[in-house]
């Protein structure tokens, strides 16, 4: 079997964290003869600088051919002055849309040893295991009309449109029910159906789908309440399904519950399980190039890639276990170091040392 893997390192800490994930993938490839072939292409700010567009045609060609894609992060101050339509982040929206990656899976799991690093009390978060299913190619990030217009009275107005049709809601809803079925059988749909018609339809479609999944208990929360519940009693959640905008915000809240955004992987899938895998965090320009970035979110994203697109569940489990092992050994990058609160933690390590430790742990598997 051969797997063509495309690496899109992007900007800021992207190249540093993708380099470590590549080393991990190369290590399992060498050991288990998996037949990985790697190619690289530009996305985001670096693609704007080198090829004039955040998702250039050369990248698009490779992305369409690849079996799976691992991405670092895009964006940074160098491109902040560009008009919205030309910014690095547009590259992300373009690749998701081009490959029809409508389903974003964001697990928020708390490694027991990192409960101290969470912004909440340990008893509220210990054992946390939430899966956020976010719709990724529709809603207000893509809806037309959009723009900043000058009205006849000379006043400028900004416009965006939140739009979902029932087919889009049904396909993401179905994946969320399927995920809940494989986990603890609870699905919470998040909307704003007391105010927004688009989410009234969302709720109606989810309700009608639930008849096909009697084993899954469906509940609904308004997004403001969901945000509150996530910080009040997060362990009540199993699977959460929501639209693009609410999912963007709620998954960052869930990220903080786990102690560090540097620990969270994600998968974006299309209907054929082809996918783009990336850490939840951004390009962290404040620490770029200093060997300070936590590579574990990207390494865990590589594990998700093995699981969801390459059907290499055993390899995915091995990588997950190797990450758990380095955490239990006390290795911490600065973002998850606990300022002396954790008796077991050692002095913080850098990006490459964390990669070395994961590879060493894999070798002991
Ligand atoms: P960010 O996630 O880049 O950083 C937020 C904070 O978390 C920073 O203090 C950063 O140092 C820290 N951090 C993030 N990842 C880390 C890691 N792996 N290890 C250690 N610390 C880490 O978010 P931001 O500062 O709001 O955005 C910076 C840039 O990234 C912006 O240009 C933004 O548009 C872009 N961004 C890109 C993506 C993406 O590529 N998917 C996502 C979010 C933001």
- CATH code for position 88: 3.40.718.10
DSSP secondary structure letter of residue 322: H
**Dihedral sign, CA of 17, 18, 20, 24?**
positive
Are 250 and 297 in the same domain? no
Same domain, 2 and 73: yes
Distance 230 CA to ligand 1 centre (A): 21
Query: Do 72 and 28 fall into the same domain?
Result: yes
Q: What whole-number percentage of the chain has pLDDT above 90?
A: 81
- Asked if the model's pLDDT at residue 341 lies above 60, the reply is no
Distance CA(127)–CA(105), nearest Å, equals 19
Q: Give me the mean pLDDT over the 67-81 stretch.
A: 97
Q: Is 308 part of the annotated catalytic residue set?
A: no
Domain closes at, from 211, 238, 257: 257
Ranking 111-125, 138-152, 167-181, 280-294 by mean pLDDT, the lowest is 111-125
Together in a domain, 246 and 330: no
Annotation marks residue 224 as catalytic? yes
Top-confidence residue, 233 or 336:
233
pLDDT of residue 346 exceeding 90: no
Which atom of ligand 1 is least distant from the CA of 71? 40
Which residue, of 227, 257, 287, is where some domain finishes?
257
pTM: 0.86
Tokens of 284: 């962290």
Dump the DSSP string for 131-180: EEEEE-SSGGGTEEEEEEEE-TTS-EEEEEE----HHHHHHHHHHHHHHH
Average pLDDT of every residue of the chain: 93
Residue that is last in its domain, among 234, 257, 280? 257
- Tell me, in angstroms, the distance from the centre of ligand 1 to residue 173's CA: 29
Is 336 contained in some domain? yes
Domain-embedded: residue 117: no
Query: Could you tell me if the CB of 252 is within 6 A of ligand 1?
Result: no
Q: What is the distance between the alpha carbons of residues 296 and 309, in angstroms, rounded to a whole number?
A: 19
The residue annotated as part of the active site, out of 248, 317, 342, 356, is: 248
- Same domain? 269 vs 308: yes
Which atom of ligand 1 is nearest to 13's Cα? Answer: 18
Atom 40 in ligand 1: residue holding the nearest Cα: 73
Q: Indicate which residue of 3, 55, 164, 192 is catalytic.
A: 192
Q: Is 75 in the pocket of ligand 1 (CB under 6 A)?
A: yes
Residue 124, in any domain of the structure: no
**Quick one: 248 and 343 in the same domain?**
no
Task: Please confirm, yes or no, whether 123 is among the known catalytic residues.
Answer: no
Range of the domain at 224: 129-257
118 part of a folded domain:
no
If DSSP codes are grouped into helix, strand and coil, which group holds residue 219? strand
191: β partners? 222
Any atom of ligand 1 within 6 Å of the Cβ of 104: no
Question: Is residue 355, in this structure, part of any structural domain at all?
Answer: yes
Classify burial at 84, counting beta carbons within 10 Å of its beta carbon; exposed 0-12, middle 13-18, buried 19 or more: exposed
Shared domain for 221 and 270, answered yes or no, is no
252 is known as an active-site residue: yes
Residue of the CA atom closest to atom 5 of ligand 1? 284
Q: Is residue 122 part of a domain?
A: no
In a domain, 107, yes or no: no
For residue 345, pLDDT over 60 is answered with no
Judge whether residue 322 has pLDDT over 50: yes
pLDDT above 60 (res 353):
yes
> Tell me, what's the pLDDT at 340?
46
Distance 10 CA to ligand 1 centre (A): 12
Supply the residue whose CA is at minimum distance from atom 34 of ligand 1.
75
Whether residues 298 and 228 share a domain: the answer is no
Q: Given the CA of residue 284, which atom of ligand 1 is nearest to it?
A: 3
- 284 alpha carbon – ligand 1 mean position (Å): 4
> Do residues 180 and 246 share a domain?
yes
The predicted model gives 341-347 an average pLDDT of 60
Residues 360 and 119: their CA atoms lie apart, in Å, by 30
Q: Is the pLDDT of residue 118 over 90?
A: no
How far is the C-alpha of 215 from the C-alpha of 237, rounded, in Å? Answer: 16
pLDDT exceeds cutoff 70 at 339: no
Residue 335 CB–ligand 1 contact under 6 Å: yes
Q: Residue range 10-37: average pLDDT?
A: 98
Distance 281 CA to ligand 1 centre (A): 5
Going from the Cα of 13 to the center of ligand 1, the distance in angstroms, rounded, reads: 9
**Other CB atoms within 10 Å distance of the CB of residue 13:** 31
Same domain, 4 and 59: yes
The domain total for the chain is 2
Statement: residue 166 has pLDDT above 70 = yes
Does 91 sit in the ligand 1 pocket, CB within 6 Å?
A: no
Whether 229 and 272 map to the same domain: the answer is no
Band of residue 84 on the pLDDT scale cut at 50, 70, 90: confident
Decide whether any atom of ligand 1 lies within 6 Å of the 76 Cβ: yes
pLDDT at 115: 85
119 occurs within a structural domain: no
332 plus 360 within the same structural domain: yes
Poorest-pLDDT segment among 65-74, 122-131, 203-212: 122-131
**Centre of ligand 1 from the C-alpha of residue 163, in Å:** 28
């Amino acid at each position: 079997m051969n797997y063509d893997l495309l690496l899109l390192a992007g900007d800021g800490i992207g190249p540093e964290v993708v380099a470590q994930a590549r080393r991990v993938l190369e290590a399992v490839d060498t050991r288990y003869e998996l037949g990985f072939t790697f190619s690289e292409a530009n996305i985001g700010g670096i693609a704007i600088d080198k090829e004039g567009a955040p998702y250039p045609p050369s990248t698009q060609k490779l992305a369409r051919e690849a079996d799976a894609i691992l991405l670092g992060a895009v964006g940074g101050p160098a491109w902040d002055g560009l008009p919205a339509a030309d910014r690095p982040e547009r590259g992300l929206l373009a690749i998701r849309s081009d490959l029809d990656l409508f389903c974003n899976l964001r697990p928020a799991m708390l490694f027991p040893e990192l409960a101290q690093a969470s912004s909440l009390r340990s008893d509220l978060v210990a054992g946390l295991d939430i899966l956020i299913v976010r719709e990724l190619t529709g809603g207000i990030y893509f809806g037309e009309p959009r723009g900043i217009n000058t009205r006849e009275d000379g006043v400028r107005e900004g416009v965006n449109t939140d739009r979902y049709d029932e087919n889009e809601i049904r396909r993401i809803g179905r994946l969320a029910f399927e995920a809940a079925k494989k986990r603890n059988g609870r699905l919470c749909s998040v909307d704003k159906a007391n105010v927004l018609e688009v989410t009234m339809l969302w709720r109606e479609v989810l309700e009608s789908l639930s008849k096909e999944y009697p084993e899954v208990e469906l509940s609904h929360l308004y997004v403001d309440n969901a945000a509150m519940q996530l910080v009040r009693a997060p362990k009540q959640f199993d699977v959460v399904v929501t639209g693009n905008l609410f999912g963007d915000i709620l998954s960052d809240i869930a990220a903080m519950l786990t102690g560090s955004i540097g620990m969270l992987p994600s998968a974006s899938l299309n209907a054929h399980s082809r996918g783009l895998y990336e850490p939840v965090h951004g390009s962290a320009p404040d620490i770029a190039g200093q060997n300070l970035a936590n590579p574990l979110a990207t390494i865990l994203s590589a594990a998700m890639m093995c699981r969801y697109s390459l059907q290499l569940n055993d390899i995915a489990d091995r990588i997950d276990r190797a990450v758990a092992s380095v955490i239990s050994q006390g290795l911490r990058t600065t973002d998850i170091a606990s300022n002396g609160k954790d008796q077991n933690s050692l002095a913080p390590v850098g990006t490459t040392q964390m990669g070395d430790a994961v590879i060493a742990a894999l070798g002991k598997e």
